[in-house]
Structure 1
Amino acid sequence: MLHHTTNSSTDLLIRFLHIVIILSFTGAYLTGDIEEWHHIHMAFGYTLGISLILRVLWQFFAPRLAHTQPSGISRRLNVIKPFVKRYGAQPQQWVSPAFLKAASSSLFQLSILGIFCLLPLTVLAGFFTDYTHSHSLKEVHELFANLFLTSVLLHLAALTLNSVLLKKWLAKRMFWGEDPHSWFTLFASVLSLGMLVAFWLWYFS
C-alpha cells in the first residue's frame, strides 16, 4: 500500500536520480579519453543533463504533488551559514568534536552545491566541444569534469567523516530509503526511467 509523506527529502525519485547521476558520471569520466567510446561518453553526458533537468523539475513538483520536501539550495545554505558564522571567528574551537561534526555536515552540503553547479557546466561544455570540435572548449570541459570529480570526492569524504562521527552510515538512506511514497512519486519514477531508457534506445538506434 502506498502512503503519503510530508517530510522526506530522499523519496523514491530522488534516490533513483542519485543512482543514475552516479553511474552516468562514472561512465562518462571513464570513457572520456577513449576515442572509440566517444559515442558512449556522449550518451552518459546527455543522461547527466536529463537527470539534472528531472531533478530540478522534481524540486518544484514534489511538494505540490508528491507531498515530499527535497532539499534545495536554501536548506543546504541553512546548514553552511550557521557553521561559518559560529566557527569563523573562533579558531580555538576547531579541534572540538562539535566543530568536526558541524564541519563535515557543512562540507557535505557544500559538495552537493558544487556538484549541481558544475554538472550543467560540464555537460554544456561537453556538448559544445562535440559540436564545434574546439580544442579550447575541450580543455574547459576537462577542467569542469575534474572540478566535478573533486566535488564528488569531497562529498564522499564528508559523508564518511560525518558517518563516523555520528556512528551511523548516512548513505544507506539514499540507496535503501524506507520512507513511504505516494502514487505520484512512483509514477514519476517509472516515467523518468522510461524517458531515460527511451533516450538510450533512440540514441543508439
Structure 2
Amino acid sequence: MNTQSASPAERPAIEPGAGRILVWDAPVRVFHWLIALCFAGAYLSAEHEAWRLVHVTLGYTMAGLVTFRLLWGVVGTRHARFSAFVRGPRAVMAYLRGMLGGHAEHHTGHNPAGAVAIVALLGLALAVTASGWATYEDIGGKWLEEVHEAAANIMLGVVGIHIAGVLLGSWLHRENLIAAMITGRKTGRPGDGVRSAWRSVGILMLAAVLGFWWTQWKTAPMGVAHGPAAVSGKAVTQERDDD
C-alpha cells in the first residue's frame, strides 16, 4: 500500500522497528506546563484589580521561564535545541501541505509547523512581559498598555492554533502528543532518543518558581496582597511612604 495516499487509520503511524523513547527532557516539560499555567492565569486575572499581585507575579514568572527556555534551546538536550527543529519556510510549507493532505511526515521532536508556533509564542511572551512591566511602572503611557493587551490577545490566538495543530498531529500520527509532553516519551527509533531527562534541572526550575511566588506574596504591600491593588508598583510605594 502506498502510505503517502493512505488515510491515517490505514497507514502505519510510524516506521517499523520504532519504540517508545525519551524525547522531551524534564526542563522542557516543566517549562511547557508552567508557561501555559502562567499565561492562562495572567490572562484571566488581567482585568481584576484584586488579582493584580497574581497577574504581575505570573508575568514576571513568564519572563524568567522564557529566558531559561532560550538558554536551554542552545545548551539543552537534542530535541530541546532550536537547531534541531527550527526550519525554513520551504520545510514548513511542505509539512503543512502534507498535513492538509493527510500524510504529514512524522518528526521525533517538534515538526516544522510546531516550531513556528513555539518561536512565535516565545517572542510574544517576551513582548507581553516587557510591555506589561513598562505599563506596571508607568513607562510609555496608554499606547504601551494597548500594545500589552494586543500582544496578549495575539498570543492567545497562537495558543489556540498550536493546540489545534497538536490535536490534528495526534490524529494524523496516531500518537498522543499531549501525553508525550507529560511523560516525555514518544514513538521513534532508539537512536533518536535522549540519554538523560535532566530531572534535577526540572526540579530546580519548579523550586525556583514556587520560591519566587512565595517571596512575592510575603513581601507584597498589604494593599496588594490582601485587597485591590494600586495602578502601579510606584503608586503603591508612594502610598506607603505617605503614611
* Fold conserved between structures, TM > 0.5: yes
Residues 95, 113 of structure 2: 8 Å contact kept = no
Structure 1 residue aligned with 2:224:
none
Deviations 1:156-191 (A, max 9, x none): 0111111111122212111122478648x2221222
- Quick check: 69-78 or 48-57, which moved more? 69-78
Distance 1:23 1:173, change over 3 A: same
After the TM superposition, which of the residue ranges 52-61 and 25-34 deviates more from structure 2?
52-61
Higher-Rg structure is 2
Aligned to 2:40, which of 3, 7, 26? 26
Distance 2:67 2:79 in 1: 14
Gaps of at least 5 residues in structure 1 are 1-6, 63-67
* Residue identity in the other structure for 1:192: M
| Whole-angstrom CA distance in 2 between matches of 1:150 and 1:46 | 21
Cα distance in 1, alignment partners of residues 99 and 61 from structure 2:
41
Separation of aligned partners in 2, 1:187 and 1:118: 28
The equivalent of 2:29 in structure 1 is 15
What's the secondary structure of 2:69's corresponding residue?
Answer: helix
CA distance in 1 between counterparts of 2:75 and 2:106 reads: 32
- Stretches of structure 2 that go unaligned for 5 or more consecutive residues are 1-20, 186-192, 219-243
Residue number in structure 1 paired with 2:145: 138
Q: What is the percent sequence identity of the aligned residues?
A: 26
2:205 counterpart of 1:192: yes
| 3-state SS, counterpart of residue 23 of structure 1 | helix
Question: Within the alignment, does 1:201 sit opposite 2:214 as a pair?
Answer: yes
- 1:157 to 2:171 alignment: no
RMSD: 3.0
Matched with 1:171 is 178
Contact 2:42 2:58 in 1 (8 A): yes
Equivalent residue runs for 1:1-205 within 5 Å: 9-62=23-76, 68-78=77-87, 80-84=89-93, 86=94, 96-98=101-103, 105-132=111-138, 134-178=141-185, 182=196, 185-205=198-218
Give the Å deviation of 1:56: 2.0
Offset of 1:199 from its aligned partner?
A: 0.9
TM score, norm. by length of structure 2: 0.67
C-alpha distance in 1, partners of 2:104/2:79? 26
CA deviation map 1:49-108 (0-9, x unaligned)? 11112222222332xxxxx21434443333753243x589xx9x8963236989xx5432
- Normalization by structure 1: what TM-score? 0.79
3-state SS, counterpart of residue 204 of structure 1 = helix
Structure having the larger proportion of residues in helix? 1
Distance 1:98 1:46, change over 3 A: same
Q: Secondary structure at the residue paired with 2:137?
A: helix
Q: What is the number of residues matched between the two proteins?
A: 188
